Amino acid sequence: MKTRTLGQGLEVSELGLGCMGLSFGYGPAVEKQHGISLIRAAVDRGITFFDTAEAYGPFANEDLVGEALAPVRDKVVIATKFGFKEGLTAKGLDSRPERIRAVADAALKRLRTDRIDLFYQHRVDPAVPIEDVAGAVKELIAAGKVKHFGLSEAGADTIRLAHAVQPVTALQSEYSLWWREPKREILPTLQELGIGFVPFSPLGKGFLTGAISDQTTFDTTDFRNVVPRFSPDARKANQQLVDVVREVAEAKSATPAQIALAWLLAQKPWIVPIPGTTKLHRLEENLGASNVTLSADDLSRIEAALSRITVHGARYPEQLQKLVGR
């Protein structure tokens, strides 16, 4: 697989694997051996970039990723995150320096490794100056426990303040054909500072694959049940976006998921999407996006079609929306 370089010279496969859904967020966790097999299948197919977090489970996802990647540890890049009280999103934010240090030590054990390749602040904590957060990670880098510093869903001003203390390697935020807001302010900021961008939910939490309709029902533990954009009415209204993607896919002999990923790859050479999946055939389908080339004309047509579509529903419920873009 082709590689891309994020900030600070961190080289990774041009598509990573978001591992959250194997343990958390989208219904029951997969059986552990299945998760290990899927992660190792990704390695076998050339993926070198794996994303997890303390909060996924909590803890279970880091443990799964650590066990799966232990035999190939020196050939892969592992990203994890800190920032929630006791690792529980429901308990709120906690990016105090002492907490960051404790999370790093615990994550190293769960990941079965001596260093975290990329350590993200999961959400910006308004109670802790971002300079203190960056300073704490800088100390962990000096100690050899962490290699690179990342932010997630941070605003442009926060990115600049953090970067001045400890160079930021990557920003991880939502970005897709369904959520194009980062184009306005975030992408120019990252370009200026030489920071890579790692889009999560590049397939719109599955919606852009075309496999979800207004009739689809989710497991009771699936996060999408509380996302306004996934209400049945919103899904019905947003179907026109999927229709555009499907039309392009048919013209390119590709799938909607491949077009959604190829679109992201075409935006900037330092963008590395991290689609997640629990299924081997979806993993292979996603990897096929590397072979789809969208011309300038294709991209213009997609842009023109999207400009006529209004996306319905917020991307987070209100209490979670407050945590992004700060």
Q: Where are the alpha helices (DSSP H) in the chain?
A: 32-44, 60-69, 97-110, 130-142, 156-165, 186-193, 232-251, 256-267, 280-287, 296-307, 318-321
Task: Find all residues with CB under 8 Å of 141, minimum gap 6, and list them.
Answer: 147, 148, 149, 166
Nearest to 138 by CA among 125, 123, 148: 148
Nearest to 117 by CA among 37, 35, 39, 7: 7
Phi, psi for 29 (deg, rounded to 5): -65, 150
Cα dihedral value 291, 293, 298, 299, nearest 10: 100
Q: Which of 26, 56, 120, 175 is catalytic?
A: 56
Task: Find all residues with CB under 8 Å of 138, minimum gap 6, and list them.
Answer: 149, 165, 166
DSSP state string for 219-253: -TTBGGGG-GGGSHHHHHHHHHHHHHHHHHHHHTT
Cα-only R_g, the chain: 19
Asked if 324 and 153 count as a contact pair (C-beta separation under 8 A), the reply is: yes
Beta-ladder partners of 84: 93
**Known catalytic membership, residue 26:** no
| C-alpha span between 150 and 212 (Å, rounded) | 32
| Chain center to CA of 136 | 23
| C-alpha span between 235 and 245 (Å, rounded) | 15
| C-alpha span between 2 and 37 (Å, rounded) | 22
Nearest to 33 by CA among 8, 4, 67: 67
Q: So which residues are the catalytic ones? A: 56
